[in-house]
Amino acid sequence: MDYRELKVPGAWEITPRQFGDHRGVFLEWFKEPGFSATVGRTLDLAQANCSVSAAGVLRGIHFADVPPGQAKYVTCVRGAVLDVVVDLRVGSPTFGQWDSVLLDDVDRRAVFISEGLGHGFLSLEDDATVIYLCSTGYDPDREHEVSPLDPGIGVEWPVIGRDGTPLQWTLSDKDLAAPTLLQATDAGLLPLYREGHE
């Protein structure tokens, strides 16, 4: 596996090596100890999620209260999504910055997202299937969101799908009502940056 740290510290792109023949393809999409040796920590598994989205579905930007927060290891096993990580840690040198990775069923990359970082993705085709490993279980009282359309963050979400057709973004009511980064900061919703704890 090849690892590349994103512009947001604590987030990594992981590209697996694929082995194919006339029968199909085999790959390892997560593997210890290479993960912990590169990232500098283990991934404790508490929950595994799967979401299937129509083209144009925009999910996020989501995060959980820290501590304990929720680290995620995300890949797309069918279709394609643009996966986005946003630094929501107040006091971080990269606060408010974002980076993205194309997750699809061709390169089969994954993204690791540390606690305190925001996460979202846009489905680039129908039935895009995203699976993710989570370090803590879902707790609705500790889950929050920041608007994925906040111009203060400025995520450049695609407007064209994988097949070249225009995308019509579809968001949940909760994501549509999400506060901006500034509003979330003023409300004290965001995690604090702790140096050395990406």
Q: Quick check: is 144 catalytic?
A: no
Q: How far apart are the first and last CA of the chain?
A: 21
Express the helix, strand and coil content of the chain in percent, nearest 5 each: 10, 40, 50
Give me the catalytic one of 73, 119, 132, 193. 132
Give me the catalytic one of 62, 119, 144, 193. 62
Cis check: omega of the bond before 33, within 30 degrees of 0 = yes
Q: Quick check: is 193 catalytic?
A: no
Give CA–CA dist 198/85, Å, rounded: 13
Give CA–CA dist 118/35, Å, rounded: 21
| Residues acting as catalytic residues | 62, 132
